[in-house]
Amino acid sequence: MTGSEGASPLYSGGSLPADPHAISVEGLFRELSVSVVGLSDEEARERALVFGANIIAVHAKTSIFRIALHQFQSPVVYLLVAAAVMAGSLNQWKEAAAVLVVLAISALIGFVTEVRALRSIESLRDLGTHTARVRRSGDVRLVPAENLVPGDILLVEAGDRLSADVRLIEASNLTADEAALTGESLPTDKDVEPVDRDAPIGDRHSMLYKGTVIAGGSGAGIVVGTGLSTELGRISQLIATAETGRSPLEKRLARLSGQLIWVTLAVAVLVAAAGIFSGKEPMLMIEAAIALAVAAIPEGLPIVATLVLARGMRHMARENALVERLSAVETLGATTVILTDKTGTLTENRMAVRVILTPDTGLRILESASGKAVPEEPGSDAVSGLLRAAVLCNDATLGEIQSEDSGDPMELALLRAGAAAGLVQPALAGEYPVLRKMPFDTEVRMMATLHGSGNGAFWAVKGAPEAVLQASSRVVSGNGSLSMDGKLRADWHDKVEQLGRRGLRVLAFATRPTDRPDGEPFRDLVFLGIAGLEDPVRPDVPEAIAACQEAGIRVVMVTGDHLVTARSIGEAVGLYEHGTAIAEGADGVRLDDGDDSGFRQVGIFARVSPAEKLALVRAYQEAGEIVAMTGDGVNDAPALRQADIGVAMGRRGTDVAREAAAMILLDDAFPTIVRAIREGRIIFDNIRRFVVYLLSCNLSEVLIVGLAVLATLPLPLLPLQILYLNLITDVFPAFALAMCKGDRAVLKRPPRRPDEPILGRAQWTSIIVHSVLMTSGVFMALLLAHLTLDLDRDATVTVTFLTLGFVQLWHVFNMAGKSAGVLNNEVTRNPWVWGAILLCSVLLIGPALTPPLANVLGLTSPTAVMWCLIAAVSLLPVLVGQIGLRLFGALRRKGAR
C-alpha cells in the first residue's frame, strides 16, 4: 500500500515496528504503509490522532504556592505554631504575635532565596521550536517538528538537529554527531543497510535519533518514532523513575529538629509538672512551659541555614557553578564518589591532531591539548607534505572563532594543525587551486582532490590507513620515493595498530602526480604518512582529579565511548594506571558491595547505556556513597537526576541534561566541581559551627528558666524576651560565623562519613560545657540582682535579659576551635563577626533605653550599678571558657608526648 491509498488498519492500534534498524527498507515501507512519495496530509492528521504530538513532556515549573508552602513544612515550625496558639489561648497576644512574626520572617527569607534559585535555572531552559523538512504527497515541505508522525519521509542535511527517530532509506556521505546520546566524541558513519537486531545504539548505522545532529552529508529516512517512542523519550521516562530524594543536609537538619522537639517537649512538661506539684500557680507554670519551648527551639536556625546556603549559591555562581537547589550546595561537600562522563567533561569535545608519523620522522606530538602546535622538526619536508595534503583534501572550514567552524571534527583538526604549521587553507587553496574533487566513498574508504600547480597537477588523498596503504605503490623518502614492498606495508600497519591501541583515530595521506585530470585517483599512490587524532583532555582536568583524590573523593569514568578510547583518556587524566580495573558496560559487573570483583573495584566503565548509568548511581548510593554525577548528554540525564548531586555542562550540555541536574557548570570545567566541593565542605563546617553556637545559647536559656522555676525564683526571662534574643543575638552572630572563609586544608582531609550527623559527640560536649558556663554567669547575675541588690522583678528580669544577651555575643569567640589562637583566629579575622557584635549591642541596649520598646519587652532602664553587674558577669563565661580550652589543649599535648 502506498502513501496515496489511505492509512492502514495498523494505525488504529498505534503500534510501531520493533527494531527498525534491523528491518530492510522494503520491509519497513510495507510495515508502515508508506512509499517514497510520503504521506498525504489526511494520513498525517489521522496518524497524529493515534500517536499524538511529537513532544516530550518538559520539566514543569515549580509554582509560587508550592515554594511558599515548602517554607512551613518543618517540625520546628509546627512546634512554634503550637506555642503561638497556646500563648494566644492564654491571652498572651504579644508573645503569640512575636512567634508568628519570627516564622513569617524566616519563611520570607527562604521563599525569596528559593524563588531566585529556581527561576535562574528555568531561565537556562530553552526548549525552542524547530521545523523539519518532509516529503508529503511527493512535495517537500517545512512542518513544525511536533507535527511529525510515524511514516513521514524526513529529509536531512549537514547541520540539522533530528526531531524524531528515523530509519534511513537514502544516505550520501552521511555522518551524525551522536555524542549527546551515546557519549562518543566522533561522528558516526550512516548508511541504509540493516544491522544486527541486538546492535547497541552507537552501532545502529541505519538509524538517526532525535536530539542528535547531522555532521556531514545528506539523506532521507522514514520516521519510526516520535515523542515518548523515541530513544530520547525512553530516556525521559528513565528520568521520571529516578528519585532525587532529600539531600544529606536536609536529612541531618530534619533529624536534629526532631531531636530538639522531643527534648523541648520533655523538658517543658517536666518543669511545668514539677512546679505544679510543688504548689506553684498553674498559669505561671504554663507560661514557664511556653518560655521553655520558645527557648529550646533555635528560631534562627532555618533563617541562618537558608541565608548561608543562598550565599554559597551566589559564591558558586561567581565560580561558574549554578546551583538549582539550596541544599545541593552542602551536598557537594559530602561527596564521596564522582561518576564523570568523558566527552565534553574530561575532554574538550573536539578533535585534535596528536601525532604525525612520516617515513623520515619518528613518533611526534604535533598539537598540545590547548590546540597550539609543538613542532619538533618544523623544517621537515615530509611533515609539510603530509599537512599540505591534509589541508587541501578537506571539506571543512575554519571560522574566525571556534563557534564559526563548520565541517567534520577530524577535518577541522587537520586544518588547525596545518594552520599551526603555517599552512593556512585559503592561501594554500589559492596556490594549489582545486580542479576536481572525489568525495569520500564508503566503498573505497578514501577521498581525493585534484590540484593544479606550477609543475602540473597532483592528487591529494586521505582515508582509512588500510585503504590508503593498499592503494600505495611507493612511499615518500627524502627528495624522492621508494617502492612500497610487503614488509614496508606491514610495518606501517603495525604503526597504525600502535596508535589505535592508544585510543587515537588514524588517518593516512598520500599524493599522486598526474597529467590526466580525468584519471583514476586511487591507485599508484605515493604514501606520505599517518596522523593520529583524539578528543584532547582538558588541560586543567588532571590537576583537578588529583585534588579530588587527595580529598578522598573517588573519580570514576562512566562513558558510552569505546573501551580503548576511554582507557587512553583515563590514563591521560590520572584515572587509569597498571592494575586499574576497567569494564565494558555495567551488565557484566556485580552491582553489589559484597564482592571484591564488584563495581566498586572498577575505575573506568566504557560502552555504558543510560539505563546502566542509572543502575550504577543507584548501586553506589545503596553502598552508602554520596554520588556526584557529571555529564552533558541526553544519555546522562537519568543518572544526573538520580545522583545526590547531578552536575550538567552549561555550554555543551543538552537541555535535557541541564533540566535533570542540580548544578550546572557555566564554563564546562571539571575543576569548577572541585571548587564547588571545597565550598560545600566549608559551608558544612560553618553550619556545624553556628549550630553549636545556636544550641549552646538556647540550652543556656532552657537551663536558666528551668533552674529559676525549680529554685522558686521569679521567672528570669519572658517568652517575648527569649524570642527577641533568639532573633537578634542568634541570627546575626550565627550568620557572621557562617561567613568564615574556611580552613585552607579543607580539601586535604577525607570526606565526612555519609551518615555523620551535624552534631557528633565532640559538638554535643562543647554545647553542654559552654551552655553550663553561660548559665552559671547569667544565674550569678540573677542571684546578685535579686538577693544582693534587692532589685524588683522587672529590674531583675532586665539584668538577666541583658546579661544573657551579652554572654551570647561574647560566646561567638568560643567558636574559633581548640587549636586556634586566642587573638588571631578565623573568628577574630572575620569582619562580619565584629559587625554583628556592634549591631547586636545596639539592638540589645536600645530597647532598654527606649521606653515604648522597654514596655513591650517588659524591661526597665538599667542603673549604673546594673550596667556594671551586666558588663562584669557577661565576660566571665568566655574568659573561663578560653582559659579552660588552653589548659585542656596543653594537657593533651603533654599527654601526647
**What whole-number distance in Å separates Cα of residue 486 and Cα of residue 497?**
17
Q: Which of 165, 341, 535, 561 is catalytic?
A: 341
CA-angle at 778, arms to 772 and 784, nearest 5°: 130
What is the C-alpha end-to-end distance of the chain, expressed in Å?
93
**What whole-number distance in Å separates Cα of residue 248 and Cα of residue 267?**
29
792 is catalytic: no
**What whole-number distance in Å separates Cα of residue 348 and Cα of residue 537?**
6
List 462's β-bridge partners, or say none.
447, 509
Give 536's DSSP letter: P
**What whole-number distance in Å separates Cα of residue 579 and Cα of residue 808?**
56
What is the SS3 assignment for 47?
helix
Tabulate helix, strand, coil % of the chain (nearest 5): 50, 15, 30
H or E, element range at 446:
strand 446-453
**What whole-number distance in Å separates Cα of residue 492 and Cα of residue 471?**
13
Give 514's DSSP letter: E
> Phi, psi (5° rounding) for residue 876?
-60, -50
217 residue type, one letter = G
What is the SS3 assignment for 553?
coil
H or E, element range at 208:
strand 207-208
Cell of 389: 595534503
**What whole-number distance in Å separates Cα of residue 798 and Cα of residue 651?**
59
665, 681 in Cβ contact below 8 A? no
**What whole-number distance in Å separates Cα of residue 322 and Cα of residue 307?**
16
Of 699, 705, 737, the C-alpha closest to 721 is: 705
**What whole-number distance in Å separates Cα of residue 210 and Cα of residue 197?**
20
352, 358 in Cβ contact below 8 A? no
Contacts of 826-833 with C-beta under 8 Å, sequence gap 24+, read 826/740, 826/741, 826/743, 827/737, 827/740, 830/736, 830/737, 830/739, 830/740, 830/741, 832/735, 832/736, 832/739, 833/733, 833/736, 833/737
682, 746 in Cβ contact below 8 A? yes
Q: Between the CA of residue 250 and those of 182, 278, 785, what are the distances in Å?
A: 34, 42, 43
Of 232, 472, 180, the C-alpha closest to 345 is: 180
Contacts of 260-266 with C-beta under 8 Å, sequence gap 24+, read 260/76, 260/296, 260/297, 260/298, 260/695, 261/75, 261/76, 261/79, 261/297, 263/296, 264/79, 264/292, 264/293, 264/296, 264/297, 265/79, 265/293
What is the SS3 assignment for 330?
helix
Torsion sign across C-alpha atoms 629, 555, 632, 584:
negative
**What whole-number distance in Å separates Cα of residue 151 and Cα of residue 158?**
22
756 residue type, one letter = E
- Mutual angle of helices 793-810 and 670-710, in 10-degree steps: 150
Catalytic residues, by residue number, are 341
